[in-house]
Homo-oligomer: A and B are copies of this chain.
């Protein structure tokens, strides 16, 4: 390995380490808590070192959002690659989202930064909106797929289903983070299942029951 390559790899590792810390801090205390000084001291680097890696505080915030997005995708999207398409894939996706919201320290990163930045115009807010919009699109597409496969009724509007699912996860997040209310996790799971079963066709119900029996 040449000196330049190993320098590059070390640089990338440092960057990843800093961003990991930044995601945790921003989840717990908000993106505005991400000052160059604080991130530098936690990462054992100088302020100049952090600025060398990221440029500005705003650039660091945006890279932190992107790191959070990658971590979310790795935990919630990727494990679903082999889920049976349709209602089961949708339920499993939302269950992983619920798991993540109830486990992550400080709750769901994007629920936190969404509420923090929704009224602060600028590139950080725009990137938050973009990432949350992208996730909404994934949910709408998966819901639409369950409709097309005949698992959810044709009269069901995917956007309404997703609006309600989103609400259950946000309610879980608030309840869990603010009151440490463990029952919120089962409240959210029940709400998701009730909604999807009410909207499902007999074929959808069969797919779901078969899947849940197989999992036990």
CB within 8 Å of B: which residues of A?
27-30, 32, 105-107, 111-112, 114-116, 118-120, 125, 128-129, 132-133, 159-160, 163-164, 166-175, 177-179, 184, 187-188, 190-191, 198
Interface of A is mostly: helix
User: Is the Cβ of B175 less than 8 Å from the Cβ of A116?
Assistant: no
User: Is the Cβ of B191 less than 8 Å from the Cβ of A30?
Assistant: no
The answer for the CA separation of A105 and B129 in the assembled complex, in Å, is 18
Are A170 and B177 also in contact (CB < 8 A) when A112-B115, A116-B116 are?
no
The answer for the CA separation of A188 and B129 in the assembled complex, in Å, is 19
User: Is the Cβ of B187 less than 8 Å from the Cβ of A163?
Assistant: yes
User: Is the Cβ of B106 less than 8 Å from the Cβ of A118?
Assistant: yes
What are the residues of chain B within 8 A of A172 when measuring CB–CB? Answer: 167
A51 to chain B, nearest CB (A): 23
What are the residues of chain B within 8 A of A164 when measuring CB–CB? Answer: 164, 167-168, 171, 191
User: Is the Cβ of B178 less than 8 Å from the Cβ of A128?
Assistant: yes
User: Is the Cβ of A107 less than 8 Å from the Cβ of B118?
Assistant: yes
Identify the 10 closest CB pairs spanning chains A and B, nearest first: A167-B167, A115-B115, A118-B177, A167-B171, A106-B119, A170-B170, A28-B119, A163-B187, A166-B171, A167-B168
The answer for the CA separation of A111 and B175 in the assembled complex, in Å, is 11
A27 to chain B, nearest CB (A): 7
Are A107 and B132 also in contact (CB < 8 A) when A30-B32, A166-B171, A167-B191 are?
no
The answer for the CA separation of A7 and B140 in the assembled complex, in Å, is 59
Are A178 and B132 also in contact (CB < 8 A) when A29-B120, A105-B119, A160-B190 are?
yes
The answer for the CA separation of A91 and B152 in the assembled complex, in Å, is 28
User: Is the Cβ of B174 less than 8 Å from the Cβ of A119?
Assistant: no
The answer for the CA separation of A100 and B129 in the assembled complex, in Å, is 22
User: Is the Cβ of A119 less than 8 Å from the Cβ of B132?
Assistant: no
